[in-house]
Amino acid sequence: MKKIILIFGLISGVICGSMFFIFHPSDGQMDFENGMLKGYITMSIALSSIFFAVKQYRDKYNGGSIKFLKALLMGLAITLVAGIVYVILWEIYYQNYASDFADQYLAYIKAQWVSQGMAADEIAKQTIAMEQTFESYTKNAMVRFALTLLEILPVGLLISIISAVYWAIIKKKA
């Protein structure tokens, strides 16, 4: 099982993390409008490997059946491996290409608030709160690690639950 977890986790993590480099803007201006959508679609596709990993383990090593908890834990382990790879690749990308990520994102959010008609005093208050968060993000690699890992974990959790339910119910035909 460890081999399957490692292989599928590495594949998923590399696919998820490579999106930073694939979608890197030529002008250096990040696309926050579509970036999140592209990111979560890529994560969903990459982490769908959990579905196939659980099936492979169920069929090859577990006699054609698997319990929900075992399948879920396997999916979560794959998600954790993928998440660590994703974070490492983000950190490489961040250090080399996106060290101004926080500034660009804050400018984008402020423009959104203005276009939504938010009051100037509320924008100022929200800006201060975001600047404090980004200060921790830019200066503390562990905060950056944790926040980046939190991007991928919900997607992996959802796919792990779906896969575990499906493969726990469906038995291999003899």
- The H or E element spanning position 17 is helix 2-22
The confidence score (pLDDT) of residue 171 equals 75
Helices 32-47 & 49-61 angle (0-180, nearest 10): 10
Q: Are 167 and 68 in contact (CB under 8 A)?
A: no
The confidence score (pLDDT) of residue 164 equals 95
**No. of helices (H) and no. of strands (E), the chain:** 7, 0
pTM for this predicted structure: 0.88
The confidence score (pLDDT) of residue 74 equals 97
Q: pLDDT means per 10 residues in the chain (174 residues)?
A: 96 95 80 86 96 94 92 97 97 91 90 90 91 89 94 97 92 64
Q: Are 32 and 103 in contact (CB under 8 A)?
A: no
The confidence score (pLDDT) of residue 153 equals 97
